[in-house]
DNA sequence: CAAATGGCTTGATTCAGATCAAGTCTCTCG
DNA sequence: CGAGAGACTTGATCTGAATCAAGCCATTTG
């Protein structure tokens, strides 16, 4: 920690570029950071990190290049811990290692869920599942506010903003009303049926999503 | 290890079902194991594990339910280590913990790559990238043999066998000839261009794929 | 050895989702 | 306050990939 840098970063600043060597472990202390990947024009949101969580721990541990880029979505406070110090801590402090491992395992499981989602469900089902999960994470409240921009949700879910918009509208017929940022689940049973039940796929343990990776929690309302 | 079970398993046997509690860490000593996920009829291959590698380490570490199922593709020899022993070893043996962490980080990075692939490339590009990566993993040999059934490759890559077949055929025009199990890269430059350059996306470190997760290595020929 | 099974290919057709093209609304900023 | 920018929506159209339907081939099995 003594070697770490504490930084205030304005919104919309890219703080990590994929391909670069993993010099620092990043910790989001305040604000919100998007992890994304891009190739020749195309771009995909991989996760959104909220306080207090780390990102690119895996690259640090392996001393390998970053696989994702990161940019701030809001003004954010980041703690940058030099990778060598992280690796030293992992090697000498077994409690640190244990916690790092839990974090890593959580990230992995979060990504497994995300990938299953992409491969096994179509757009409407993915959205239904997402909304249900959001609702569950705040205690099964039927109403809540979307925590990030829709275009970001669309990218994370592997679809275009246009299709997200259409899907949102069409969900009215399946138990969920979306108006602007406001979401109201009107018929949970119906929505769950659409999502392809199997909340096994999304639950019961929140894993990484509780830790702040994947997409942020909504606010109940 | 003293508490572990050493088992010979016939082909096509499901040894792990998603949703079940993670009672054992599995180690593939011989053979080949497919990790897959399914919901209501649909099914997706998530990875193929080859010796010597572990699977479902993350579930063990977190003491959480399995997120994937596992079945043998061939007659296989598996070592089942009770999860509690794994967690005990992690807690007491810092070298063990360190290695487990490396493994976990490798799996995570492998999955990040896979997900980027799914989100950023279309079917032909994914296949081109896959073939190039296979070639690279055996030392840039232009010719090799596909290591698993095509239907499995198709599922792993998130497409139907029909489309994989068509894509393979169409790649003849882009620098790669596939005949049965045999692959010959005739024009690497062209194929790389199609794959969307960015071998950043797939390299340079092999991470998990070297460790035996993702899809198996091909055989040079 | 004939039948069956399962993987693979091929063609025809369909459809989910992408793309293209406006247009609206909100928020910011000069 | 008016202009501009960016997010979002909506409709029309296009297209990549899925689905459906045979047929082929190799391997297994009775």
pLDDT exceeds cutoff 70 at A33: yes
- Ranking A13-27, A204-218, B151-165, B178-192 by mean pLDDT, the lowest is A204-218
Residue A203 · residue A136 · CB < 8 Å: yes
* Chain B residues closer than 8 Å to A64 by CB: 109, 205, 207
pLDDT tens sequence across A81-120: 999 999 999 989 889 999 999 999 999 999 999 999 999 9
Higher pLDDT, A149 or B40: A149
Two structure tokens written together for A109: 């499981």
Q: How far apart are the CA of B52 and the nearest CA of chain A, in angstroms?
A: 19
Average model confidence (pLDDT) across chain A: 89
3 state SS for A66-108: CCCEEEECCCEEEEEEEHHHHHHHHHHCHHHHHHHHHHHHHHH
pLDDT tens sequence across A118-168: 999 999 999 999 999 999 888 888 899 999 999 999 999 999 999 999 999
Q: How far apart are CA B200 and CA A194, in angstroms?
A: 38
Task: Give residues 17 to 46 of B whose Cβ lies within 8 Å of A.
Answer: 18-19, 37-40, 42-44, 46
Instruction: Look up tokens 């491992």; give the residue.
Output: A101
pLDDT exceeds cutoff 60 at B201: no
What's the pLDDT score for residue A138? 85
* Chain B residues closer than 8 Å to A113 by CB: 67
Q: Does A40 sit within 8 Å of B207, measured CB to CB? A: no
Q: Which of A19, A58, A68 sits opposite B105 (nearest CB)?
A: A58
Question: Does the complex come out with an ipTM higher than 0.85?
Answer: yes
Q: How far apart are CA B198 and CA B31, in angstroms?
A: 33
pLDDT exceeds cutoff 80 at B162: yes
Helix or strand holding residue B53 (H, E): strand B53-55
B149 touches strand C (CB under 7 A): yes
Span between the terminal Cα atoms of chain B, in Å:
38
Mark B16-55 as b/e (b = at least 16 C-beta within 10 Å): bebeeebbbbbbbeebbbbbbbbbeeeebbbbbbbeebbb
pLDDT tens sequence across A167-219: 999 999 999 999 999 999 999 999 999 988 665 656 666 665 544 556 776 76
Q: How far apart are CA B75 and CA B52, in angstroms?
A: 15
Two structure tokens written together for B28: 């593939």
- Ranking A17-26, A49-58, A202-211, B72-81 by mean pLDDT, the lowest is A202-211
Which of A39, A70, A155, A201 should one mutate to test binding to chain B, selecting the residue with the greatest count of B CBs within 10 A?
A39
Three-state secondary structure call for residue B194: helix
Q: Which of A46, A64, A91 sits opposite B109 (nearest CB)?
A: A64
Task: Give residues 166 to 195 of A whose Cβ lies within 8 Å of B.
Answer: none
Bridge partners (DSSP) of residue B70 are B16, B35
What's the pLDDT score for residue B204? 60
Share of chain A above pLDDT 70, in %: 90
B95 touches chain A (CB under 8 A): no
* Chain A residues closer than 8 Å to B111 by CB: 108, 111-112, 115
Residue B151 per-residue DSSP state: H
What's the pLDDT score for residue A136? 87
What domains sit in chain A, N to C, each tagged with a CATH number? 5-92 (2.60.120.10), 118-220 (1.10.10.10)
pLDDT exceeds cutoff 60 at B213: no
pLDDT exceeds cutoff 60 at B153: yes
Q: How far apart are CA A19 and CA A125, in angstroms?
A: 33
pLDDT exceeds cutoff 70 at B199: no
């Amino acid at each position: 920690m003594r070697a770490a840098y504490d930084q205030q970063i304005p919104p919309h600043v890219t703080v990590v570029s994929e391909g670069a060597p993993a010099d620092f472990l990043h910790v989001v202390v305040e604000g919100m950071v998007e992890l994304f990947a891009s190739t020749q024009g195309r771009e995909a949101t991989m996760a959104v990190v909220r306080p207090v969580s780390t990102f690119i721990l895996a690259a640090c541990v392996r001393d390998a290049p970053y696989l994702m880029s990161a940019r701030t979505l809001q003004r954010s406070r980041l703690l940058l811990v030099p990778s060598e110090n992280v690796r030293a801590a992992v090697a000498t402090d077994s409690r640190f290692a244990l916690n790092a491992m839990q974090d890593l395992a959580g990230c992995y499981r979060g990504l497994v869920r995300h990938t299953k989602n992409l491969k096994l469900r179509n757009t409407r089902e993915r959205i239904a599942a997402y909304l249900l999960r959001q609702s569950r994470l705040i205690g099964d409240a039927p109403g809540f506010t979307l925590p990030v921009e829709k275009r970001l949700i669309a990218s994370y879910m592997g679809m275009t903003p246009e299709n997200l918009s259409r899907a949102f509208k069409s969900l009215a017929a399946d138990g969920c009303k979306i108006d602007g940022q406001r979401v109201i689940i009107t018929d949970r049973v119906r929505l769950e049926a659409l999502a392809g039940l199997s909340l096994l796929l999304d639950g019961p343990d929140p894993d990484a999503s509780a830790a702040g990776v994947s997409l942020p929690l909504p606010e109940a309302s």
